[in-house]
Each structure stands twice: as C-alpha cells, then as structure tokens.
C-alpha cells in the first residue's frame, strides 16, 4: 500500500470524526439551552459616591460653615472648578436583581456659609439598610440568650467540696522553653 492512499484514508477518517463531533455539539447545545438560560452570570455590586441619609440632611442648617457641613456629610464627591460655591453629593448603587438607585444632593454656599440645599428625598439609615438586605428570611430568629434554668445545669455541684478527689484537677502546664529555636537555619 502506498503512502498517498493511506494518507487519504486518514484524512477521510478525520473528516468523518470532525463532522460527528460538530453534530454532537449542536445537539448538546439544543438540549442544554433550557438549563443554561436559567443560569445568569454574577454581576458585581457597584457602589459609588457618598450615601447621605435623611438624618444627615435634617442636620443641615443654612448658615453652617463649610467645615461644619463637611463634618455632617463628609467630603463632596464632585468638586467643580467653575462653581466653587456648589457641592454635589451623588450616590449610585447597582446590584444584581435590584433596580439601580441614584440620589443627588446639591449644596450652595455664599462665601464660607451654607446658603441652601436641594436634591432627591433621602431614605433614613434604617430604610436604606432594609433595601440592601434582600436575603429571604427563613423562620424566626433564634433566641440568643440562655434562661436561668439553662445556665444552672453548668453550675458546679454545691454538695461536693472543690478539692474532693472527684473534682477534675487542673492539668499542670508544661514549662516554657528557656530559648526558642532560630527561625532560619544557620548555613
């Protein structure tokens, strides 16, 4: 048998194997398509900006200095070179399975004093945390404190003296070494 017919034979076998593999791939994708459509990729939670709560906005009063405002709200995320008397606090959060949220608060200064502020209605800290916690609650919260009756079972018995032979004796601790071995071996 010459080398050329043998080569054609292997090429033909390779072509048949490739077509069978490709045919198998298309049938696998058709049958697995339904299962794969239920699986969604993980999307990273994106939090940007300064969260400003309703309590913080209520603490703002016209006439406050820039430093006092900074102590209440923190440093402004956006600083505009052309509008030095305006601070913008923007907060955005994007989470998988939850509609994106964006809140905006603008403060206007007259010199060093707060003149006015305007923006979106802000949630209280409690409302905001409740929006973030999307875990499904299962059952009731377990009791985290033990009752007096439950604690009594851990009390030592009062009828036996502490130095009686049935009382568990403390094990003596081995003495500490006088010197510790070096961290690196000498060369």
Summarize pLDDT for 30-40 with one digit per residue, the tens.
Answer: 656 666 666 66
Instruction: Output the CA torsion 49→77→128→142 (10° steps).
Output: 70
CA distances from 19 to 6, 25, 30, 32 (A): 20, 10, 17, 20
DSSP line for 36-53: HHH-------EEEE----
pLDDT given at position 146: 81
pLDDT for residue 68 is more than 90: yes
3-state secondary structure 133-165: CCCCCCCCCCCCCCCHHHHHCCCCCCCCCCCCC
Tokens (6 digits) for 126:
């409690």
pTM for this model (two decimals): 0.49
Higher pLDDT, 82 or 180: 82
Rounded Cα gap, residues 101 and 93, in angstroms? 5
């Amino acid at each position: 048998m010459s080398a050329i017919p043998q080569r054609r034979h292997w090429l033909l076998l390779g072509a048949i194997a490739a077509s069978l593999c490709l045919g198998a791939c298309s049938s696998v994708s058709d049958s697995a398509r339904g299962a794969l459509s239920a699986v969604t990729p993980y999307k990273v939670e994106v939090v940007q900006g300064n969260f400003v709560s309703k309590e913080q906005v209520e603490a703002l009063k016209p006439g406050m200095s820039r430093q006092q405002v900074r102590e209440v709200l923190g440093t402004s995320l956006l600083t505009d070179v052309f509008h030095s008397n305006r601070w913008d606090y923007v907060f955005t959060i994007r989470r998988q399975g939850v509609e994106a949220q964006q809140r905006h608060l603008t403060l206007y200064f007259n010199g060093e004093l707060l003149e006015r502020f305007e923006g979106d209605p802000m949630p209280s800290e409690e409302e905001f945390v409740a929006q973030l916690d999307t875990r499904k609650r299962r059952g009731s919260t377990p009791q985290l404190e033990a009752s007096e009756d439950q604690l009594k079972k851990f009390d030592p018995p009062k009828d036996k003296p502490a130095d009686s032979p049935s009382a568990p004796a403390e094990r003596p601790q081995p003495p500490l070494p006088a010197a510790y071995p070096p961290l690196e071996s000498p060369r």
